[in-house]
Amino acid sequence: MVKEQKNEVMEKIVSLSKRRGFIYQGSEIYGGLAGTWDYGPLGVALKKNIENLWWRMFVDSRDDMYGIDSAILMKPKVWEASGHVGGFSDPLVEDKKTKRRYRADHLLEEAGVNPSGMTLDEMGEKIKELKIKSADGNELSTPQQFNMMFRTSVGSVEGEDTTVYLRPETAQGMFVNFKNIIDSFHPRLPFGIAQIGKSFRNEIAPRDFIFRVRELEIMEFEYFVKEAEWKERFEYWLGQMRLWFTALGFSSEDIREVEIPDGERAHYSSRTVDFHFKFPHKFDEIAGFAYRTDFDLQNHIKHSGADLNYLDPVTNEKSVPHALEPTFGLGRHVLAVLTKAYTEDELGGEPRMYLKFPPNLAPIKVAVFPLLKNKPELVAKAREVYGVLKKEFGAVIFDDNGNIGKRYRRQDEVGTPFCITVDFDTLGQGDDSSLKDTVTVRDRDSGKQERVAISELHMILQTKLSL
């Protein structure tokens, strides 16, 4: 029953996302491509709001962080040095009849088995023991490792092309630019290099809407520290990550911290803490924090021959810094914010569904209406108010489609915090002449309306929106 309710919530979010222009299936008119999604006008606005908030908190507000935007295509040696060519893989099983592919570890998890630390042979034996079949009821193949990197080639002459990979992570772009940042800006330890960018993973079984996809965006930074200071800095950044989730409006019940034990961490990590969010399908990873030691810089020194040492300007001592890596999945953040915002209640005795976004994350901040669309004087005044607010707040729309009640419900559904209505009182044509040059401001969450002077509208909205 609980699982059915969770699936129902996810289905409602997926339906709303398409209907209201948040997220569409990739290549939909051709039947869609699994694991790919297109962000519509409201989806891209929500995504940008999350990105901008993250960048302000972790980059712009600090004097120890340097932003970059590295290339997606990199020399193959980068991925040899990072260990991805030989070790970036997932356990794959196939339906022996249909050849449909599955993640062996996911099948075991769904059967109530923790596959962490299992070898491929052990997974295969457990699948046989539990008599796990494919979705079509067929027998599954023996598990094998499947490299998740997408291959492509560069070159203009046939036979001389060079194999390259679409990057499976953004981290290496920061490590290979470590020397450039040192040479250009001469930062003092500790300091960080941050970026937001796309990564590509050839997922065997994309699922759960935009949670597990083949083309994803990551917000992350590598924070370089002296080895002796890593524990202290680790605790500091754990605290900062907790503050980030609070800034998104998440509560302590929404987030779990999971310490990853020995034997289950990534090959480069000496300590990892994952952050799990209460998604509709289950508590699952939304962010991770790893202590990567000096693994990456040392390997790039070995494979490239470049000097990636840091020279302390005070002691003149050279050392290879260690890296702390907070990583945030942007698509998963979008899904988490949508999940947290999704609300069902009653308003005016009628059921209502709305998105309770924090005002700073809402893709539309304010909607402006004329009370009636067939009254030119109301439309003209509403357009005037709209024009002023549009210049100031940007994410403002004008809406005169349908009756006023339907407009309110439509804006509730996309999470618009405030709706402004220009009526006959605004024009001084109502019963109370003192209401001339005022408008009604409706609050999304409560449905309550208040009368506000147009001259004070900017200041009041600025306070309400916390801009």
Q: What is the pLDDT of residues 406-417, one digit of tens each?
A: 999 999 999 999
**Minimum mean pLDDT range among 151-155, 183-187, 355-359:** 151-155
Contact criterion met (CB below 8 Å) for 368 and 396: yes
Contact criterion met (CB below 8 Å) for 196 and 217: yes
pLDDT digits (tens, 9 = 90+) for 99-157: 888 888 889 988 999 887 788 888 899 998 899 998 888 999 988 887 788 888 887 65
Residues 6+ apart with CB under 8 A from 61: none
Helix (H, G, I), strand (E, B) or coil at 330: helix
With both helix axes pointing from N to C terminus, report the angle between 330-341 and 2-19 in degrees, rounded to the nearest 10. 100
Residue pointed to by tokens 């001469």: 186
Contact criterion met (CB below 8 Å) for 249 and 349: no
Q: In whole angstroms, how large is the CA radius of gyration of the chain?
A: 26
Residue 88 predicted with pLDDT over 80: no
pLDDT at 1: 44
CA angle 34, 51, 24 (to 5 degrees): 30
**Which amino acid makes up residue 260?**
I
**Which amino acid makes up residue 448?**
K
**Minimum mean pLDDT range among 71-75, 430-434, 457-461, 463-467:** 463-467
pLDDT at 2: 47
pLDDT at 158: 59
Burial category of 210 from C-beta neighbours within 10 Å (exposed 0-12, middle 13-18, buried 19 and up): buried
Q: What percent of the chain has pLDDT over 90?
A: 72
**Which amino acid makes up residue 261?**
P
Average pLDDT over the chain, rounded to an integer: 91
- Domains assigned to the chain: 2-73+171-338 (3.30.930.10), 364-465 (3.40.50.800)
DSSP 8-state symbol, 354: E
- Nearest CA to 167 among 181, 146, 148, 193? 148
**Which amino acid makes up residue 118?**
M
Beta-bridged to residue 90, according to DSSP, are: 146
pLDDT at 63: 96
Residue 5 predicted with pLDDT over 60: no
Helix (H, G, I), strand (E, B) or coil at 206: coil
Contact criterion met (CB below 8 Å) for 386 and 79: no
- Nearest CA to 333 among 238, 248, 206? 248
**Minimum mean pLDDT range among 217-226, 259-268, 446-455:** 259-268
Q: How far out from the chain centre does Cα 398 lie?
A: 28
pLDDT at 70: 97
Q: Which two tokens stand for residue 102?
A: 């599955």
Question: What mean pLDDT is predicted for residues 286-311?
Answer: 95
Helix (H, G, I), strand (E, B) or coil at 417: coil
Residue 426 predicted with pLDDT over 90: yes
Pairing of strands 322-329, 101-103: unpaired
Residue 3 predicted with pLDDT over 80: no
pLDDT at 385: 96
Residue 262 predicted with pLDDT over 90: no
Distance CA 164, CA 429 (A): 70
Torsion sign (Cα): 196, 239, 261, 129: negative
Residue 311 predicted with pLDDT over 90: yes
Distance CA 242, CA 239 (A): 5
Q: How far out from the chain centre does Cα 112 lie?
A: 28
